[in-house]
Amino acid sequence: MRVPSKRAWVVVAVVLLFSYAVFLIFINWAMRQPPETFGRVMAKMPKPAYFVIPFETFWTRARAGALRAGDAAPDFQLSTLDHKNEVQLSAFRGKQPVVLVFGSYT
């Protein structure tokens, strides 16, 4: 039985490290996408991957955003609860206070 040479081990290690780096870049990209895209990627993620990817670090950086205290909120448009109209945040600027609630209130 022939023992693999040192060069063969180095090549295997380099290929594995390169593959891991590409995989991490892909996951980092996915975390910065809209929730639907991120959900589709994570739905296909094999369970062992959760043990080899620094998800918490990536998630914290991806969701940190660039806004700081005192910055103006980015403009966006949402449907009303009855889905009959749309409301744009900039329409309220300078007129009345706006409170944004994220998450479940049930």
32-77 pLDDT, tens digit per residue, is: 888 788 888 888 888 888 888 888 888 777 777 777 888 888 888 8
pLDDT digits (tens, 9 = 90+) for 23-32: 889 988 888 8
Instruction: Tell me: pLDDT of 106 over 70.
Output: no
Q: What SS3 state is found at 87?
A: strand
The full set of domain ranges for the chain reads: 6-70
Please list the residues that pair with 84 across neighbouring strands.
Answer: none
8 A C-beta contact, residue 78 and residue 86: yes
DSSP of 24-86: HHHHHHHHTS-HHHHHHHHHT--TTHHHHS-HHHHHHHHTT-S--TTPPPPP-EEE-TTSS-E
Confidence of residue 18 (pLDDT cuts 50, 70, 90): very high
